[in-house]
Structures are given as C-alpha cells and as structure tokens.
A and B are shown apart, each in its own frame.
Chain A
Amino acid sequence: MCAGHVETVEVTGSAKGVDGWFPLERVHAVYDHSFHAQTEESLIIDFVNPDRGPGARVSVELSATSANRLIQAIQDALEDGERRHGPLQVETTA
C-alpha cells in the first residue's frame, strides 16, 4: 500500500504532548502506513496544532478492532456522562 487516506476535523480541546499541554486545532484520522505499530497499516489519529509547528502533535496508531472499540467507548462515555451530568459545556474559542 502506498497511499494514505486523511479525514480532518476542526476541534476544540487540549492535548498533552512531549512539551506539555497545548490547545488543539485539528484532528486527522488517517489510514496509512504505521510508523511504530507492528502492522503494515494502521488507523492513525493525529491530534495537532499546526500553528505551533509539527511537534505539537499527539499521535496514536490503532488496529481496526481497536479503532472501532475506541469509537464505541467515546460514544458510550459521552452519552452516559451527558445523561448523568447534562450536556458538556458548549465549546468556546480560546
């Protein structure tokens, strides 16, 4: 395989990288070669802030099963949390 598929969404939030916390701007969901995982391809999620340079990045490489589990876990946590505690605060621009 010699091609990646990239889906990008604008997000509001924070991520913690090697230099500490930074405000997030985008998340890339990518199907491409693994850089570290022991599989030829992975579902890669890059949490980034391009304004802060390429090092402002938190990256994970997941198998297909793991990616689907993560999707479900995010949905479950969000739905259960909002049911118990009400909707998450509406996002504001930093």
Chain B
Amino acid sequence: MVTHETMIAETVLFPGHQGDQISGYLARPMGPGPYPGVIVIHAAPGFVDHFKEVARKFAAAGYVAIAPNLHHREGPGDPDDVGSAVRAAGGVPDDRFLGDTRGALDLLRSLPYSSGKVGIIGYCSGGRQSYLAACSLPLDAAADCYGGGVVAGPEELSSTEPQAPIELTQDLACPLLGLFGADDGRPSPEDNRETERVLESHGKTFEFHTYDGAGHAFFADYRPSYRQKSAVDGWQRVFGWFGKYLS
C-alpha cells in the first residue's frame, strides 16, 4: 500500500440534515487524485481527537476521509462534555444522523479529486450507524466495528433509535465488513450470529471477524479496551476491504 506522506487536514463546514450547517474533519492526500472517499463515524462518547487521527490514517493510505461531527449542534465545547449532553438527550437521532451522513457523502462526491466511490466506517454506536447508513444511502462499501444495537428488541428502541438496523438488511446496497470482540456484551457474539444469519438469508456480500481476547472498542488506542493484536489485524482487513470495493 502506497503511503501518502503529505496531506491536507482541516475542519470544514457542509450542509447536513435539513440543510443545517455542520462541521467535519476532512483529510486528503496532496495530489490530483482521483481518490476514493471514506466517511468516519465517531463513537457516542464524543468527537474526540482519535477520530481525526483515523481520518488522517485513511488520507495517508490514499483516501479522502471525512469525519462528520455528529454532535456539532450540541457544541461547542469539550467533546466529552458535548457527548455527555447528547447522551442525556437520548443520543443522536437516526434521521439526523442519516441526513448529516448524506451531506458528507454528497460533499465527498463533489470534490474534484474524488473517484466517486465512497465507503463508511464506524465505531461503537458509529458501527450501528454505519450499518444503518449502508442500508439507507448509496454507499460503495461499509465497515461496522462493534456496533451494538444492530440487533435490538422492542425494549431497546427509543424515539431517537426507533428501528433496529437489522430490519433494513434487505436494503443493504454495498459489501459489509464486520469486526467484533468475542468478549463484547453489545454486540454479543449471539447478536453477530443473528446478523450473519439475516445477511445470508438476503444474499448479501459480507465478512465478519470476531477476535478472541478482545471486547468492545479494541481499536480505541486511547482507552484500556485497546487490543493491539486485534487492532493491527483489523486495520489490515479494513484496508483490504476498502481496497477491494472502493478501487
């Protein structure tokens, strides 16, 4: 894989759900392209710097990456303070997430150095949201990293998350990569087997990998949940997946 050592990385504004102007962190290689795009979906605790690092990692690998700040409307402020306020309000509403992600998708495809192919990757709650987006938006590839709530019973639904994404699986329009920890409680290995069963029943293209010795958030190198062996292998699978389907 070619490493792009020079890049431009900056916060940009773009229209999101219902035309609201929101911010995102855009990172791209210096060069004419064309480059495929990746939308990076942050976890519920907040739009912390880790997700900007993830966007830069994709840029170094030859992608135009944007990490939308899904908590833009509740800010400004420290990401954890803003994340706390969003959590207390019930989380980011699914329809707002989809509108914001549609805006990020349109932005990426409008850039003169875009190849037009765009994938999505999300972590934790962002994994669930990636699954939701892959079933709802014209994306070319998706990765769900330990997204809990793809499988959800009626008692887990809410006004902000009114539907379990697994119910939308028939509409999944792109290949899906799933990366999970065997010790995770949500999604549990049983949840992931149920998702696999539904994906198979609809004839979808997907790969799931579950890492022994890892729990939730094993990619998060700023938290004690980080598992180096799983994260290194997971990154190879992510780049392999996007390299295959976004080329």
List A residues at the B interface (Cβ < 8 Å): 1-4, 6, 8, 26, 28, 30, 32-35, 38-40, 44, 46, 48, 50, 53-55, 57, 59
Contact = CB atoms under 8 A, between A and B. Distances in A.
B39 interface: no
Interface in B33-76: 43-46, 74-75
Contact of A39 (B124, B128, B224): B224
A54 B81 contact: yes
B22 to A, nearest CB: 16
Interface of B: 43-46, 74-75, 77-78, 80-85, 87-88, 124-125, 127-128, 146-149, 156, 184-187, 215-217, 223-225
Contacts of B80: 35, 59
Nearest to B125: A2
Given A3-B156, A34-B223, A40-B215, A59 B84 contact: yes
Contacts of B82: 54
Given A30-B87, A46-B88, A55 B184 contact: no
A2 B84 contact: no
Given A3-B149, A54-B77, A55-B77, A48 B185 contact: no
B24 to A, nearest CB: 19
Contacts of B186: 1-3
Contacts of A6: 87-88
A33 B88 contact: no
B48 to A, nearest CB: 9
Given A2-B124, A3-B149, A53 B77 contact: yes
